[in-house]
């Protein structure tokens, strides 16, 4: 259950940063604005500053997260239930692995999304 919540949180956080950046907002100000509101969470306080610093060292590795999401998806299917949000995020993290970032932290989801939405005019550096 913990990993399901984290998966949903990570996609929301990364997409909000992309949206804010593309809308011309200062992402550090954006972070300060939403940290104290209803969206406030551990991920905003701990992983977003690392994303902004381009620090993708693992606290928890993508490879382990993909394994955990796979377990949750298989167990859910065994119960005759689907978790469409988790399935989507799982696919995105498989893209992170395919891009060679499996040993990085879960915040490396940002790298795959940046690539997908062509966030930068040039390829981002780590």
Query: When comparing pLDDT for 82 and 117, which is higher?
Result: 82
Q: What is the pLDDT of residue 56?
A: 98
98, pLDDT greater than 80: yes
Structure tokens belonging to residue 124: 């981002």
122, pLDDT greater than 50: no
CA distances from 91 to 22, 69, 73, 96 (A): 24, 10, 11, 9
The percent of residues above 90 in pLDDT, for the chain, comes to 89
pLDDT-based confidence at residue 119 (cuts at 50, 70, 90): low
């Amino acid at each position: 259950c913990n990993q399901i919540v984290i998966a949903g949180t990570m996609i929301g956080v990364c997409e909000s940063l992309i949206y804010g950046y593309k809308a011309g907002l200062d992402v550090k100000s954006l972070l300060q604005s939403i940290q104290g509101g209803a969206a406030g969470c551990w991920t905003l306080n701990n992983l977003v500053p690392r994303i902004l610093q381009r620090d993708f060292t693992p606290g928890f590795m993508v490879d382990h997260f993909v394994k955990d999401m796979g377990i949750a998806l298989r167990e859910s299917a065994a119960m005759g239930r689907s978790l469409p949000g988790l399935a989507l995020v799982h696919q995105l993290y498989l893209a992170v692995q395919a891009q060679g970032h499996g040993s990085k932290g879960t915040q490396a989801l940002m790298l795959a999304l940046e690539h997908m939405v062509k966030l930068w005019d040039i390829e981002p550096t780590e």
